[in-house]
A and B are shown apart, each in its own frame.
Chain A
Amino acid sequence: MSTDYVLETRNLVKGFKGFIAVDDVNLSIQRGHIHALIGPNGAGKTTVFNLLTKFLTPTSGQILFNGTDITSMKAAAIARKGIVRSFQISAVFPHMTAIENVRVALQRFEGHSFHFWKSQKVLNSLNERAYELLKSVGLEEYANTQTVELSYGRKRALELATTLAMEPELMLLDEPTQGMGHEDVDRVVELIRQAAVGRTVLMVEHNLGVVSKLCDRITVLSRGAVLTEGDYKTVSANPQVREAYMGSEEAEVEGAH
């Protein structure tokens, strides 16, 4: 029986001037899963993300999305296919209101994004949908607030609403809880859980508490290569993982998260 994979990489390699950041990585992301990519700093997690979304071009190897080869596609085209990413630093448009942020994602589907002769009033028809999306992440009160004035946690929630506006088939989240307090972490975990219904999520995450609560499958990267893969129990029991990664994080696992 073959499993249904949304995304696969085959022997993915990325080298920067004599240094191999990603070394022969084979990933298989099962449809409907929340899949985590973990590993110590410098393991190549973000580089893998950049390769998958074509912000970087792989040195060699293949990327398959729903079985078709997307290795040579451009970043914007990949996004249009349904692979939408977030960034390590919250990716919002600071000098737009929250609702305008979401509208930027929605307006592309309207097909008038090159129409420089039309009034912006045509965008008002998207307000209803944008507002619904803001509500789904609990930001409805802040619809007309300038994004730059939102707290960090709310910016991340807004980013998620904008990502959801794209109706992505596969969401790539780069450290969604990085730099957050406990309350925000719990909220974001809940948001991701909701957003993941009917979708596939691949996330880079440092917070193992979050990973253990949220993720169906975990891939551990170390020095650019896959160390091991499995569910949280299997992975956390692996002695190599404990040595390479968890050893230093043990206290954190048992700690407050």
Chain B
Amino acid sequence: MSQSLSSVAVHNVGLEQQRRSDRRRLIFQLVLLALALAAPFVIYPVFLMKVLCFALFAVAFNLLLGYVGLLSFGHAAFLSTGGYTTGYLLTTYSGLTPELGILAGTATATMLGLVFGLIAIRRQGIYFAMITLALAQLVFFFYVQSDFTRGEDGLHGIPRGNLFGVISLQDNLSMYYFVLAIFVLGFALVQRTINSPFGYVLKAIKENEARTTSLGYNTDHYKLVAFVISAALAGLAGSVKTIVFQLASLTDAHWHMSGEVVLMTLLGGVGTLLGPVIGAAFVVSLEHQLAQGPLGDWVNVILGGIFVICVLAFRAGIVGEVQKFMKKNFN
């Protein structure tokens, strides 16, 4: 009897810890949400939307790198596929509402993610990165050559339309709250995924793949599902971004974009939920600030320098270092 009591006690310790950290996280996130709701009254909403789109993109990417340990170097393909699909459909079919355009863009990116995943997922490490890069380059050149993307010119003047056919998104403020809602949904999906039974298997795979296999898990299937979720969310980010800027161009398909999301994620803190959001905000702000000043041509050099410093000195990224500091001093 006393033994079963102690067993209950041990569970309770674990469960109580879990509950407490869940509650703390929820409160923290509600504060952030309140800030995000108030932000457009202080900061230019278009800039904020840009941050949110890239943040969603980086969060999607981080699901793979941070929680499965897979470095994809082809995520630009999903961002641009979402963008081009949505952009093309909304310019071609004037009756289409933006949410349907976004759904279509996300669905196309998801399918492309499945194709990429089926080809690449069996490879490990650098081979996986190289295959995703090669496939993304294939997609890039397809978009360069295709008529519907208008090649170097890109798609311009994509109509924002009316959400559900009712709410006009022409106004930046309503557009912002729509983008924020999508970002919150995407973020919540990733948070749930990594804290789900599926997320536990992903963690096991990241920690020791051979052992996970020997416990009867077909690890390739789990990695593939994670890859497809990541591609879908990257596509979603691309679709939304296209509607915000009413523009779809080759920039999003270029491998620079795949590199930039790696940078955002590592700077912010890989394997932390908030890291990629902070990283995206940091990089987008920096680019924005520098572009206006005399250092405009040096953006990439400065970003590169920051990246080097980050890798050498702050390997855990901004959020990762803060977490380490908090753990050391307040626990």
Q: Which residues of A contact B212 (CB under 8 A)?
A: 104
The smallest beta-carbon distance between A69 and chain B, in angstroms, is: 19
Contact B10 A93 (CB under 8 A): no
- In angstroms, Cα B3 to Cα A74, docked, is 41
Question: Measured between C-beta atoms, what is the minimum distance from B304 to chain A in Å?
Answer: 31
Q: Which residues of A contact B221 (CB under 8 A)?
A: 114
Q: Which residues of B, 1-28, contact A by the 8 Å Cβ criterion?
A: 3, 6-7, 10-11, 13-15, 17
Q: In the complex where A114-B222, A144-B14 touch, is A119 in contact with B208 (Cβ < 8 A)?
A: no
Question: Taking the nearest CB of chain A, how far is it from the CB of B19, in angstroms?
Answer: 10
Q: Are A115 and B10 in contact (CB under 8 A)?
A: no
A9 CB–B CB distance under 8 Å: no
Q: Is there a chain A Cβ closer than 8 Å to B196's Cβ? A: yes
- Taking CB atoms, residues of chain A closer than 8 Å to B214 are 53, 75, 79, 84-87, 91
1/0 per residue, CB under 8 A from A, across B192-214: the answer is: 11011111110110011011111
Interface residues as binary, B90-104 with A (CB distance below 8 Å gives 1, 0 otherwise) = 000000000000000
Return A216 CB to nearest CB of chain B, in Å. Answer: 24
Contact status A120-B199, CB under 8 Å: yes
Contact A80 B203 (CB under 8 A): no
* Contact mask for chain A residues 85-96; partner B; CB cutoff 8 A; 1 contact, 0 none: 111000111111
Q: How far is the CB of A225 from chain B (nearest CB, A)?
A: 26
Query: Does B308 interact with chain A (Cβ within 8 Å)?
Result: no
User: Which listed residue, B14, B192, B198, touches A113 by the CB 8 Å rule?
Assistant: B198
Does chain B have a CB within 8 A of A135?
A: yes
Known contacts being A87-B210, A99-B14, A117-B192, is A76 close to B197, with CB within 8 Å?
A: no
**What CA separation (Å) do A30 and B62 show in the bound complex?**
49
Chain B residues near A115 (CB, 8 Å)? 196-198
Chain B residues within an 8 Å CB radius of A96: 203-204, 207
Please, how many angstroms separate the alpha-carbon atoms of A140 and B4 in the complex? 11
Given contacts A104-B204, A114-B225, contact A75 B197 (CB under 8 A): no
Size category of the A interface is 35 or more
Shortest beta-carbon distance from B319 to chain A in Å: 17
Indicate whether B34 reaches chain A with its CB closer than 8 angstroms.
no
**Contact of B293 with A by CB under 8 A:** no
B196 CB contact (under 8 Å) in A76, A86, A91, A119: A119
CB <8 Å contact, B11 and A114: no
Are B211 and A93 in contact, with the CB atoms below 8 A? yes
Interfacial chain B residues near A91, Cβ < 8 Å: 208, 210-211, 214
Q: Which residues of B contact A127 (CB under 8 A)?
A: 11, 14
Which of A74, A79, A120 lies at the interface centre, i.e. has the most chain B CB atoms within 10 A of its CB?
A120
Asked whether A131 and B10 contact (CB < 8 A) given A79-B214, A116-B229, the answer is yes
Residue A43 at the B interface, CB < 8 A?
no
Q: Are A84 and B215 in contact (CB under 8 A)?
A: yes
Is A113 a contact partner of B13 (Cβ separation < 8 A)? no
- Name the residue on B nearest A112 (C-beta): B197
Q: State the CA gap A103–B215 with chains docked (Å).
A: 11
CB of B215 within 8 A of CB of A166, answer yes
A107 B207 Cβ-Cβ under 8 A = no
Contact indicator A140/B208 (Cβ below 8 Å): no
- B251 an interface residue at 8 Å Cβ cutoff? no
Q: Is the CB of B222 within 8 A of A79?
A: no
A100 at interface by CB-CB < 8 Å: yes
The verdict on B219 contacting chain A, using a C-beta distance below 8 Å, is: yes
B216 engages A166 (CB within 8 Å): yes
CB pairs A–B below 8 angstroms (25 shown) = A53-B214, A55-B210, A75-B214, A76-B216, A76-B217, A79-B214, A84-B214, A85-B214, A86-B214, A91-B208, A92-B208, A93-B204, A93-B208, A94-B208, A99-B10, A107-B201, A112-B197, A114-B222, A118-B198, A120-B199, A120-B200, A122-B197, A123-B197, A124-B11, A144-B13
